[in-house]
């Protein structure tokens, strides 16, 4: 499939990227590894005037340790982050979610910033322009209906990032730079819950740093997918145990990842959270497995991850 025409600009600094965004009056997309964005452009889901490549900005490519935190640039590849000794040593849940992301070829190209900011997915949306024109445009394409749920008022496309929930379970924050300045958010606040516009991000803002507190943790990640590799989560469950408290992140089912907390880890509390996450999950017929099966697997995976952590955690 051929790309539409757009101007390609490579920024060397954060300020230059912001200037370029202003120059194109917001009709521009930021580019990192391109593994999510380029297929969407090929499908004509977006038609920007310009694509602003962030990969030339050196400060977005580093991993540093500072005051008990790991400061990760958004352009660090998934593979580089997975191979980082601090991640291997202290963050088993994140290590497993990175390892479960697609395949090593994609991990070497895809970045952690692009992974967090990947668009939501739906069987009716990730299609060619011809297919979508024949079917009729839905909310996410600027139409006035949902092609999956009759009389729906919003979009139910699924957020399928493997790593945001793992990062949420270790209390990660993101720093954003934008035309109006900088701000820092807890990662979970970045998600809007609306499949049409899944991120609470202002025009022109982009992630400049991810802060991960470094503590000794136990954890694991389990993923339901059709294929063993190169496949998105149809449900993903990330669990980290830190200071005797467990945080549970659920992804792949609905427009945003969800976060839960267990203060006293025992079978009763794990069952309670598994039940709550099951109730919260409202899958619709827009992914390759049935909604009933995906919903059931939320609780199954939560119990499975805790069982693995009890036996020692990471593979």
**Binding segment (CB under 6 A) for ligand FAD, from list 10-18, 25-33, 126-134, 303-311:** 25-33
Q: Assess 308 for contact with ligand SF4 (CB under 6 A).
A: no
Q: Assess 74 for contact with ligand FAD (CB under 6 A).
A: yes
Q: Assess 177 for contact with ligand SF4 (CB under 6 A).
A: no
Q: Assess 207 for contact with ligand SF4 (CB under 6 A).
A: no
User: Does an H or E element contain 169, and which?
Assistant: helix 163-169
3-state helix, strand, coil in the chain (%, to 5): 35, 25, 45
Q: What is the three-state SS of 262-299? A: ECCCCHHHHHHHHHHHHHHCCCCCCCCCCHHHHHHHHH
Among 139, 159, 191, 221, which residue interacts with ligand SF4 (rule: CB under 6 A)?
139
Is the Cα dihedral 142, 144, 150, 155 positive or negative? positive
155 binds, among ligand SF4, ligand FAD, none (CB under 5 to 8 A by kind): ligand SF4
If the CB atoms of residues 122 and 190 are measured against ligand SF4, the closer one turns out to be: 122
If the CB atoms of residues 37 and 270 are measured against ligand FAD, the closer one turns out to be: 37
> Rounded distance, CA 96 to CA 24, Å?
39
What is the length of the chain?
Answer: 315
First to last CA, the chain: 39
Q: Assess 124 for contact with ligand SF4 (CB under 6 A).
A: yes
Q: Assess 252 for contact with ligand SF4 (CB under 6 A).
A: no
> Rounded distance, CA 301 to CA 240, Å?
14
Quick check: helix, strand or coil at residue 236?
A: strand
Site residues for ligand FAD, 206-235, by CB under 6 A, read: 206-207, 230-232
21 binds, among ligand FAD, ligand SF4, none (CB under 5 to 8 A by kind): none
Q: Assess 146 for contact with ligand SF4 (CB under 6 A).
A: yes
Q: Assess 147 for contact with ligand SF4 (CB under 6 A).
A: yes
20 binds, among ligand FAD, ligand SF4, none (CB under 5 to 8 A by kind): none
Q: How far is the CB of 154 from ligand SF4 (least distance, A)?
A: 8
240 binds, among ligand SF4, ligand FAD, none (CB under 5 to 8 A by kind): none
Q: Taking a C-beta distance cutoff of 8 angstroms, is the pair 11, 57 a contact?
A: yes
Q: Assess 237 for contact with ligand FAD (CB under 6 A).
A: no
Q: How far is the CB of 46 from ligand SF4 (least distance, A)?
A: 14
Q: Taking a C-beta distance cutoff of 8 angstroms, is the pair 71, 211 a contact?
A: yes
If the CB atoms of residues 162 and 194 are measured against ligand FAD, the closer one turns out to be: 162
> Rounded distance, CA 171 to CA 96, Å?
17
What is the side-by-side strand order in the sheet with 173-178?
63-66, 69-72, 206-213, 173-178, 181-186
Q: Assess 156 for contact with ligand SF4 (CB under 6 A).
A: yes
If the CB atoms of residues 31 and 235 are measured against ligand FAD, the closer one turns out to be: 31
State how far the alpha carbon of 126 is from the alpha carbons of 3, 263, 306, 314, in Å: 15, 39, 34, 33
> Rounded distance, CA 315 to CA 309, Å?
10
If the CB atoms of residues 49 and 196 are measured against ligand SF4, the closer one turns out to be: 196
Judged by the rule CB under 6 A, the positions of this chain that interact with ligand FAD are 29-37, 39, 54, 74, 78, 101-102, 106, 110-111, 113-115, 117-118, 161-162, 206-207, 230-232
Judged by the rule CB under 6 A, the positions of this chain that interact with ligand SF4 are 122, 124-125, 138-140, 146-148, 155-157, 195, 286
């Amino acid at each position: 499939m051929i790309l539409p025409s757009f101007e390609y600009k490579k920024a060397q600094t954060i300020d230059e990227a912001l200037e370029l965004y202003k120059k194109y009056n917001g009709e521009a997309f930021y580019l990192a590894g391109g593994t999510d964005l380029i297929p969407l452009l090929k499908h004509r889901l977006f038609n920007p005037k310009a694509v602003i490549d962030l990969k030339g900005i050196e400060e977005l490519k580093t991993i540093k340790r500072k005051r008990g935190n790991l400061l990760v640039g958004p352009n660090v590849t998934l593979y580089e982050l997975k191979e980082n000794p601090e991640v291997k040593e202290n963050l088993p849940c994140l290590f497993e979610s990175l390892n479960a992301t697609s395949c090593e070829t994609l991990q070497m190209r895809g970045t952690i910033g692009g992974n967090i900011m990947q668009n939501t997915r739906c069987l009716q949306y990730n299609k060619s322009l011809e297919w979508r024109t024949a079917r009729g445009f839905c909310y996410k394409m600027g139409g006035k209906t949902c092609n999956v749920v009759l009389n729906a008022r919003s979009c139910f496309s699924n957020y399928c990032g493997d790593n945001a929930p793992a990062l949420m379970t270790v209390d990660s924050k993101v720093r954003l730079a934008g035309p109006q300045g900088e701000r820092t958010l807890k990662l979970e606040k970045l998600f809007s819950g609306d499949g049409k516009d899944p991120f609470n991000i202002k025009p022109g803002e982009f992630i400049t740093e991810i802060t991960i507190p470094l503590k000794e943790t136990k954890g694991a990640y389990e993923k339901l997918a059709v294929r063993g590799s190169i496949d998105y989560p149809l449900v993903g469950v990330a669990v980290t145990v830190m200071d005797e408290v467990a945080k549970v992140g659920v992804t792949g089912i609905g427009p945003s990842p969800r976060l839960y907390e267990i203060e006293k880890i025992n079978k009763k509390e794990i069952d309670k959270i598994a039940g709550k996450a099951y109730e919260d999950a409202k899958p619709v017929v827009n992914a390759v497995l049935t909604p009933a099966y995906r919903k059931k697997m939320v609780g199954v995976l939560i119990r499975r991850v805790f069982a693995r952590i009890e036996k020692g955690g990471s593979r």
